[in-house]
């Protein structure tokens, strides 16, 4: 490494080694983690984790609150609170429609989310390794429309572990992680490593007309407004109407990899956060 270090004297040897290892892994055809920005060597990694492992003991509490979390999500949709909305052409990785309502957005906790979804925020805050304060940490409700696709990509770093709590899972949707096919199950956490190449697809169909349900993804459009604009009365967003819509919905959140101790987390945070 001496020739490399001599030309990158401003980098530590560990940083150079991490970048070289990440680049080497990105060129292999094997399923290996290949984060786009920073790779920390030596961590236990696999595409999908066994959620019954002791380091994921928080899963039981998250799943126990499934119905309450889903109810808060439905109220959020009913109020048109989705604060990010992506359509065809808005992002090179996405096709279709994708909306989300953030609790942790690029590391920053959103009090608006807590005020509307207090139980969900509390459940997330009670997770010991919940990641925040780091630019690539997120927690949000995700709503994906039928006919959408999120192309193959990797996370910025392997220092995080990602979890999905599926709320509504119609037929025809799923995910590929590190070459493994994954199907969500409503109310059952899926813990995975998104530093492996992964993609999401939704090939299903919805039964509700477009005049009713586009508000589910668009910010600041309530059910009442969507109904009046279409010449219809207000239709309440319920479990049944949500299932009929064909939208795939879940709660997504990031955690620190359990093998990274507090001192290392502080060092990584200080390295990544602009002062």
* Residue 220, pLDDT score: 42
Q: Is the Cβ–Cβ distance between 176 and 48 less than 8 Å?
A: no
Query: Between residues 61 and 1, which one has the greater pLDDT?
Result: 61
Q: What is the mean pLDDT of the chain?
A: 82
Q: What is the average per-residue pLDDT within 207-224?
A: 47
* Residue 267, pLDDT score: 95
Nearest to 132 by CA among 151, 113, 119, 152: 113
> CA-to-CA distance for 225 and 111, rounded, in angstroms?
25
pLDDT tens for 47-92 read 999 999 999 999 999 999 999 999 999 999 888 777 665 554 445 6
> CA-to-CA distance for 55 and 65, rounded, in angstroms?
19
pLDDT tens for 165-188 read 999 999 999 999 999 999 999 999
Length of the chain: 275
Percent of the chain with pLDDT over 90: 58
Q: What is the average per-residue pLDDT within 222-248?
A: 65
* DSSP states of 24-47: HHHT-SS-----SSB--TT----S
Percent of the chain with pLDDT over 70: 74
* Residue 87, pLDDT score: 53
């Amino acid at each position: 490494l001496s020739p490399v270090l001599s030309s990158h004297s401003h980098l530590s040897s560990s940083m150079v080694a991490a970048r070289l290892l990440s680049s080497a892994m990105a060129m292999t055809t094997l399923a290996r983690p290949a984060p786009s920005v920073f790779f920390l060597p030596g961590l236990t990694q696999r595409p999908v984790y066994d959620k019954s492992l002791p380091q994921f003991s928080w899963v039981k509490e998250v799943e126990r609150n499934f119905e309450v979390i889903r109810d808060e999500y439905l109220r959020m949709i009913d109020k048109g609170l989705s604060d990010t909305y992506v359509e065809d052409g808005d992002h090179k990785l996405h096709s279709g429609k994708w909306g989300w309502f953030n609790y942790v957005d690029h590391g920053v906790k959103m009090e608006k989310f807590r005020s509307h979804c207090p139980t969900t925020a509390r459940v997330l805050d009670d997770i010991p390794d919940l990641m925040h304060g780091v630019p690539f940490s997120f927690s949000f409700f995700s709503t994906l429309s039928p006919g959408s696709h999120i192309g193959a990509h990797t996370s910025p770093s392997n220092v995080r572990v990602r979890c999905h709590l599926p709320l509504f899972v119609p037929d025809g949707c799923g995910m590929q992680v590190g070459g493994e096919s994954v199907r969500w199950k409503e109310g059952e956490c899926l813990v995975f490593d998104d530093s492996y190449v992964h993609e999401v697809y939704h090939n299903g169909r919805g039964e509700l007309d477009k005049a009713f349900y586009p508000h589910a993804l668009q910010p600041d459009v309530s059910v009442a407004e969507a109904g009046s604009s279409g010449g219809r009365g207000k239709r309440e967003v319920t479990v049944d109407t949500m299932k009929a819509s064909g939208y795939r919905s879940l709660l997504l959140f990031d955690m620190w990899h359990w093998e990274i101790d507090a001192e290392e987390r502080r060092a990584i945070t200080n390295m990544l956060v602009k002062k």
